[in-house]
Amino acid sequence: MDATEKWNVPFAEEWLGQIRDAERCKWCGEGDKPINRARFCAACKRTQRYAATVRKETGALPDTATDHERWKQNRELQVAEMMEELCKADGEQLSTILHGDLYDAANLERLFNRAAYAICQQREFYGHNATQLGMTFSSDQRRILAYLLWTATLADHKRRRMKLAIRRLHRLNLRREEREAGSDAI
């Protein structure tokens, strides 16, 4: 028997315990960088501050503001609030990885596919590997693998928070327009 079969199970448990116990940003789940007293990482704190400023500016818009100025200000507010939502979404994903009922091998396959897409731009590079991943790695080991992939995703998301928020809003608007066009057609 491979010696690692005996020792890697408790080791995974211990490592997962350390990951779960780490002090984390209450929005994005960052655990490798300093967290302030209010439990925010620097990036989420910046996002929060930015959104607060934009909210204040929006509230203080003078009555004389033109439609275009209003549109621009509202757009900026939507982007800032979406950035806040995306920060929290990263934290929610981490929570599923570390504390979800049973960490599904299909979720892990999705994270591998996402990493492969970043490297070689192929979306289903690791398609149909979920069963093998499930049989090869224990639930704890799958959570650790997912966590490691998540940390790289978080670093990427933090770098591009505003761009991702704009893209997401754009997609939501397109979907809404499609729905409205569809209901007009009926």
Binding site for Zn ion (CB under 5 A): 25, 27-28, 30, 41, 44
Q: How far apart are CA 155 and CA 177, in angstroms?
A: 32
Q: How far apart are CA 137 and CA 141, in angstroms?
A: 5
Smallest separation (angstroms) from Zn ion to the CB of 83: 11
Please choose, from the candidates 60, 79, 80, the residue with its C-alpha nearest in 3D space to the C-alpha of residue 70. 60
Task: Give the nearer residue to Zn ion in terms of CB position, either 75 or 160.
Answer: 160
Q: How far apart are CA 86 and CA 92, in angstroms?
A: 10
Smallest separation (angstroms) from Zn ion to the CB of 51: 13
Q: How far apart are CA 92 and CA 88, in angstroms?
A: 6
Task: Give the nearer residue to Zn ion in terms of CB position, either 26 or 110.
Answer: 26
Please choose, from the candidates 46, 44, 64, 48, the residue with its C-alpha nearest in 3D space to the C-alpha of residue 56. 48
Smallest separation (angstroms) from Zn ion to the CB of 54: 19
Please choose, from the candidates 134, 152, 21, 27, the residue with its C-alpha nearest in 3D space to the C-alpha of residue 83. 27
Task: Give the nearer residue to Zn ion in terms of CB position, either 27 or 126.
Answer: 27
Task: Give the nearer residue to Zn ion in terms of CB position, either 30 or 140.
Answer: 30
Residue 17: phi and psi, rounded to 5, are -60, -45
Smallest separation (angstroms) from Zn ion to the CB of 107: 21
Q: What amino acid occupies position 6?
A: K
Task: Give the nearer residue to Zn ion in terms of CB position, either 27 or 150.
Answer: 27
Smallest separation (angstroms) from Zn ion to the CB of 116: 26
